[in-house]
């Protein structure tokens, strides 16, 4: 089990403006918040680009408009997290828990979401899944995909791809 960097954990708890200013002043520092418990934090528009958030506890957090580009969110817990309009381009969310999370207008272009867990309560609306890898992801519905933007490079779980064949067999 990795541990978060204590300095980085204390910094994020001081609020978004303090954190974002620190990121601007230290562009070369890669924030390490792996396994950090930041449940329920108000993190609107926070700059977590390239950050290590592996297995971070982010349940109930408000990440509206957050910058999570190329962040590592492997197995992160995002139950009921608000990721509306967040930038998750190229982020690694393999095995992340996204039950009941709000993904409206979120940008997951080229993000890795293999084995991620979704459910009917996960809110999709204009969610960008172009180039996103969703192999092995659980709990997704065709309705959620219809509310998202996908392209030829989007890799959906098998159970969604087979839907058409399934209907023909009925």
What are the pLDDT digits (tens) for 51-110? 999 999 999 999 999 999 999 999 999 999 999 999 999 999 999 999 999 999 999 999
When mean pLDDT is compared across 2-6, 22-26, 66-70, 153-157, the lowest value belongs to 2-6
- What integer pLDDT is reported at residue 166 of this predicted model? 52
Query: Average pLDDT in the 122-151 region?
Result: 97
The answer to whether 90 and 111 have CB atoms below 8 angstroms apart is yes
- What integer pLDDT is reported at residue 167 of this predicted model? 53
Coil, helix or strand for 120?
A: coil
C-alpha to C-alpha distance for 5 and 51, rounded to whole angstroms? 12
- What integer pLDDT is reported at residue 34 of this predicted model? 97
C-alpha to C-alpha distance for 166 and 116, rounded to whole angstroms? 24
The answer to whether 102 and 125 have CB atoms below 8 angstroms apart is no
Does the structure show a pLDDT above 80 at 163? no
- What integer pLDDT is reported at residue 77 of this predicted model? 98
Q: Which residues contact 133 (CB under 8 A, 6 or more apart)?
A: 111, 112, 113, 114, 155
The answer to whether 98 and 77 have CB atoms below 8 angstroms apart is no
- What integer pLDDT is reported at residue 165 of this predicted model? 53
Does the structure show a pLDDT above 80 at 1? no
Write out pLDDT tens, residues 21-58.
Answer: 999 999 999 999 999 999 999 999 999 999 999 999 99
Closest CA to 54 of 27, 29, 31: 31
pLDDT band for position 168 (cuts 50, 70, 90) = low
- What integer pLDDT is reported at residue 128 of this predicted model? 98
The superfamily CATH assigns to domain 1-104+113-170 is E3 ubiquitin-protein ligase SopA (2.160.20.80)
Domain boundaries, the chain: 1-104+113-170
């Amino acid at each position: 089990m990795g541990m978060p960097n204590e300095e980085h954990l204390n910094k994020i708890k001081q609020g978004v403006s303090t954190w974002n200013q620190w990121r601007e002043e230290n562009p070369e520092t890669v924030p390490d918040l792996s396994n950090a418990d930041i449940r329920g934090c108000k993190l609107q528009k926070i700059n977590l680009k390239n950050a290590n958030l592996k297995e971070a506890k982010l349940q109930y957090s408000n990440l509206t408009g957050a910058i999570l580009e190329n962040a590592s969110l492997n197995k992160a817990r995002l139950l009921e997290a608000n990721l509306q309009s967040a930038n998750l381009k190229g982020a690694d969310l393999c095995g992340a828990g996204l039950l009941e999370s709000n993904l409206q207008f979120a940008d997951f272009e080229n993000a890795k979401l293999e084995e991620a867990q979704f459910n009917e309560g996960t809110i999709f609306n204009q969610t960008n899944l172009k180039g996103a890898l969703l192999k092995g992801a659980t709990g997704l519905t065709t309705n959620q995909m219809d509310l998202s933007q996908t392209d030829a490079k989007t890799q959906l779980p098998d159970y969604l791809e087979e839907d058409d064949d399934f209907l023909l067999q009925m």
